Amino acid sequence: MEDKRLSITDERTGSTYKIPVADGALRSMDLRQIKTGPEDFGLMGYDPAFMNTASCRSSVTFIDGEKGILRYRGYPIEDLAEQCTFLEVAYLILTGELPTAQELEVWVGQVRHHTMLHETTKKFLEGFRYDAHPMGMFISTVAALSTIYPEARNVLDPASRRLQIQRLVGKVPTIAAYTYRHSLGYPYVYPDNELSYPENFMNMLWRMVEPRYQANPTLARALDILFILHADHEQNCSTNTMRAVGSSQADPYVSTAAAAAALSGPLHGGANEAVLKMLDEIGSKDRVPAYIERVKAGHVKLMGFGHRVYKNYDPRARIIKWTADRVFEVTGRSPKLEIALELERVALEDDYFIKRKLYPNVDFYSGIIYQAMGFKPEMFTVLFAIPRTVGWLAQWQEMLEDPEQKIARPRQIYTGHGKREFVPMEKRVAKVASAAR
């Protein structure tokens, strides 16, 4: 729906342009008509890191950063985390609607049908060193699935897309668990499809010689809730990567691997691992003030704090804090929680953080729960990638079905040399390496 139009006067030429505004945005392509002459390429928008650029229209997730609101397909995250299972929410995110009991039963059956990995995948994993980072193994193994399912290249075929989505949702917990078992030198545990999604994941992680794994129901439910909270988050860095790679019509396995690679960075999904390293570095509550001073001096970041969109408390962090109390009733209270709570208390009263609207985000407390459940910090981002695979796939599918989308190929503002005469080897003079290069 067209809201109104902008009237833009170009003082370079005196010309005035009427630019349509729709949904609070103008189309950057409408700026190209603003030229200083026939030779002029026309105006572009310049927006490093896409601080103020909408790359797509999406109906999957809604975030209101000022109000701390997060909804999947219109349903508040609080309601979904309290009343749904992760696979129920995965169905919602992927299809747009909450499933009926019968639809959920069929969906769970489809996912369960794809929890096994091709045996060659295990051999692929064996090629990694014992101390390989699980996220590196996860990314590589997801990409390797593209070699097992070449038909996945038919990205324009809805039936093929549905099958690959079922495969990926079913297999990412198995891959994650196998990376964990590999890092410990333990044999792989095959999926047990009698168990729920989180229970089966725990089974593949932690079953040893017992005939049947018995998951602690509180921990299984906590994992389910954590998966729900991490499932999607509109156009974050890794989702943007999924859409960009998928826009070339690359298959969903290599696209998901690319998205997981983006997630692995410490400013994004790698932050939960970085939070634990930060808490270990601080060591005790009484050393919190000194660390906060280092943050304010710009020497370190307060990992797990701040967000591009949330300028209020991340609603997921609030639910994670509630979940942490349930987990600690089973595992015992983590001493790191006291440090984290003190960090939060001090930061939320300090003008440096208040002025910059820095609040705890989804990564601030999640790692403390994961560690209390027995995960090593290196596994935390893999735990993020499992549920986020659902969001990446929903956004990938939406991109492919969007008639306005095509291969992603941004423009640039060129800042390099003008045309230069070629210099033959014998005439070249070594340049002093500039620190900026």
Residue numbers at the binding site for ligand SDX (CB under 6 A) = 233, 236-237, 267-269, 271, 295, 301-309, 356, 358, 361-363
The residue nearest ligand SDX at its CB is 306
Q: How far is the CB of 180 from ligand SDX (least distance, A)?
A: 22
Extract the runs of DSSP E, i.e. beta strands, from 184-254.
none
Residue whose CB is less far from ligand SDX, 97 or 293: 293
Residue whose CB is less far from ligand SDX, 40 or 293: 293
Residue whose CB is less far from ligand SDX, 259 or 373: 259
* 9 backbone dihedrals φ, ψ, rounded to 5°: -105, 125
Element (H, E) at 260: helix 252-263
Q: How far is the CB of 83 from ligand SDX (least distance, A)?
A: 21
Residue whose CB is less far from ligand SDX, 308 or 333: 308
Maximum pairwise Cα distance, the chain: 81
Catalytic site positions? 268, 307, 363
- The string of DSSP letters for 350-400 reads SHHHHHTT--B-HHHHHHHHHHHHT--GGGHHHHHHHHHHHHHHHHHHHHH
**Nearest by Cα to 390 from 178, 168, 171:** 168
Residue whose CB is less far from ligand SDX, 277 or 411: 277
Q: How far is the CB of 370 from ligand SDX (least distance, A)?
A: 15
Distance CA 152, CA 33 (A): 40
Q: How far is the CB of 111 from ligand SDX (least distance, A)?
A: 22
Residue whose CB is less far from ligand SDX, 200 or 371: 371
User: Parallel, antiparallel, or unpaired: how do β-strands 61-64 and 69-72 relate?
Assistant: antiparallel
DSSP state of 24: T
Q: How far is the CB of 120 from ligand SDX (least distance, A)?
A: 32
DSSP state of 315: H
29: left (phi over 0), alpha (psi -120 to 50) or beta: alpha
Q: How far is the CB of 277 from ligand SDX (least distance, A)?
A: 12
Residue whose CB is less far from ligand SDX, 56 or 148: 56
Q: How far is the CB of 303 from ligand SDX (least distance, A)?
A: 5
- For the chain, how many residues are written? 437
**Nearest by Cα to 145 from 254, 255, 258, 261:** 254
192: left (phi over 0), alpha (psi -120 to 50) or beta: beta
CB environment 289-324: b (16+ within 10 A), e (fewer):
eebbeebeeeeebbbbbbbebbbebbbbbbbbbebb
- The string of DSSP letters for 164-189 reads HHHHHHHHHHHHHHHHHHHHHTPPP-
